[in-house]
A and B are shown apart, each in its own frame.
Chain A
Amino acid sequence: MTGAILTARGLVKEFRGFRAVDGVDLDVAEGSVHALVGPNGAGKTTLFNLLTGFLPPTAGTIALAGRELTGRRPEQVARAGLARSFQITSLFPEQTVRRHLELALAGPTGLGWRFWRSDKALAAFSARADELLDQVGLLEFADRPAGTLAYGRKRALELALALSLDPKVLLLDEPTAGMGAEDVDRTVELIRRVRAGRTVVMVEHNMSVVSSLADRVTVLQSGRVLVEGPYAQIRHDPRVITAYLGDADAHR
């Protein structure tokens, strides 16, 4: 494992006096899968939104591969190589599945600005789009409007969209949230397949998903880092058990 590709120092986010994220340091090693876990309200999603530029931090810095990203807008963060999926499935309901990927792929080329050209020009990206769709098992649904897909498939499309940006770091916000056991297994398999050579940061509630995918785990509680380390190590940490894993074990 080489050095850290994504680093955050002293990140703070305050909402009207409430510190949702309270001085978080984060180092994500290149090529690793790094999970952010913690009980509800621990600040995972806020941290996610800070990293991707959807929220400006109150204090602290973020850097990707040594490049300062603090205060950048979401589209600039995305272009810099930090792609995200959304927790709540977030698609363009009327556009077809293939068109989603064509638009994602066309982004960096500036084709989106050409208001004088036919939208058939987007077909230039359809071959690459189909390749990505095949990777996530959605090729047969390519011509369907995204709004008509089943839930698990929408999540797969989310993943394909994030992948299409060919990101340095892939941020997945609860990739298995709301899924049945079968879909969870398929998604874990999918992430394992697409992560090759990539760095992945994921917020995840499902501990079996974390244990099977994550190299390192950061446990958050009340906006602070409680513990950080490999999964095998943190699962035995008494503080983590009281804060979080205790609950998860009770479920089993």
Chain B
Amino acid sequence: MIIRLLARRPVAAGIGLIAALALPWLIYPPVAMDIMAWALLAVAVDLLLGYGGLLSFGHAAFWGTSAYTTGLIALHTGLPFPVAIVGGALAAAALAVPIGYLSVRLSGIYFAMVTLAFAQMIYFIVNQWRDVTGGENGLQGVPRELLGADLSDPFYFYYAGLPFVLLGLWAAWRIVRSPFGQVLVSIRDNPSRARALGYPVDRYRLLAFVLSAALAGLGGGVFAISHGFASLHDVYWTTSGQAVMMVILGGIGTLWGAVLGAAVIVTLNDYLATAGFEETGIVTGAIFVLIVLLFRKGLWGTGRDLLTAARARRARPAESGEDRKVEVATERPAAVAERSGG
């Protein structure tokens, strides 16, 4: 009964919302904000991978471009930070148009390699363009301006940044469950068939790519404002790799799984870092390998399967109960016959 209730969509969304609101009470607020920003990046990657069948290994380009653009807008214009974040996300989407145009014709490992190559180009440009990006020092002292409100406390900033993340997550959910999402899934499963039905496959993939980049950019913007700086790490390939890892860990093609994956990895990284452990990659890598081996469909996908199995098991005793009723029913005529005979 409780399991069935939990599986309902509005209930699940409600629990997710409560968890998101409660998060900075439970863990260190800046880490909570990190989880949320990374969740957006992971969901963006999952939108492409799980629903478009395209593995992007270059989403750091969009996350990072937005982080720098957001930082630059906030630093130089003094505009409120929401404007800066929206500007960052738009910049990421604009960058995704040429990169996507050149990559979506490819699929499988070639798509992954080309997106990685473009992301490395962006890294190179950000590193070289010192006058604007600050080179290896990064962009420092990004302000958190919001109509004069004091958001210096990360606890309060969390609630200022959260609406962007929730908006992004809702957008991803909407995209997946839209006519566009249906076409995208069809293209993933059978591109030739989709073409024969008159769907321009590459243009659909391009739109998915741009939307995904915008979501990644939204996350990157929130991340930059939250930390007060943008650094080369934001455009580095390890950022792309970590986002892909989160998606696989949580479960490809589930969206919720990507959020869960982000929560696990960010929390783990933070725990290891505060424990003074330097080589966090070894631990997260080992856990990643273990989870992939033990739970093929990731944490969320496996959990969902177990839930379905549990529900099926519950349905079976109910059926046998009906069988018993049938037996009783067949017994009854005999009893009636006996009675009339007596």
Q: How large is the interface on A (under 10, 10 to 19, 20 to 34, 35 or more residues)?
A: 35 or more
CA distance A95 to B186 in the complex (A): 8
A115-B195 in contact given A75-B200, A93-B189, A106-B179 (Cβ < 8 Å):
no
Choice from A104, A108, A115, A122 contacting B207 with Cβ under 8 Å: A115
A92-B192 in contact given A106-B179, A118-B177, A161-B197 (Cβ < 8 Å):
no
Can you name the residue of chain A whose Cβ is closest to the Cβ of B188? A92
In the complex, whether A103 has a CB less than 8 A from a CB of chain B is: yes
Contact, CB under 8 Å: A119 / B177: yes
Contacts of B195 in A (CB 8 A): 54, 73-75, 78
Contacts of A114 in B (CB 8 A): 178-180
Contact, CB under 8 Å: A117 / B178: yes
Can you name the residue of chain A whose Cβ is closest to the Cβ of B192? A90
CA distance A233 to B193 in the complex (A): 36
Q: A74-107: which residues lie under 8 A (CB-CB) from chain B?
A: 74-75, 78-79, 83-84, 86, 90-95, 99, 103-104, 106-107
Contacts of A118 in B (CB 8 A): 174, 177-178
Contact, CB under 8 Å: A94 / B185: yes
Q: How large is the interface on B (under 10, 10 to 19, 20 to 34, 35 or more residues)?
A: 20 to 34
Q: How far is the CB of B271 from chain A (nearest CB, A)?
A: 37
Q: Mark A129-166, 1 if CB is under 8 A from B, else 0.
A: 00000000000000000000000000000000100010
**A contact set with B: CB distance below 8 Å:** 52, 54, 73-75, 78-79, 83-84, 86, 90-95, 99, 103-104, 106-108, 111-119, 121-122, 161, 165
| 5 further A-B pairs in the complex, CB-CB below 8 A; given A104-B197, A118-B178 | A78-B197, A83-B196, A86-B196, A116-B175, A119-B177
**B contact set with A: CB distance below 8 Å:** 174-175, 177-183, 185-186, 189-190, 192-193, 195-201, 204, 207, 211
What would 29 A/B residue contacts be, using CB atoms closer than 8 Å?
A54-B192, A74-B195, A75-B199, A78-B196, A78-B197, A86-B193, A90-B192, A92-B186, A92-B189, A93-B189, A94-B189, A95-B182, A95-B186, A99-B182, A103-B182, A107-B199, A112-B180, A113-B179, A113-B204, A115-B175, A115-B180, A115-B181, A115-B211, A116-B175, A117-B178, A117-B179, A121-B179, A122-B182, A165-B197
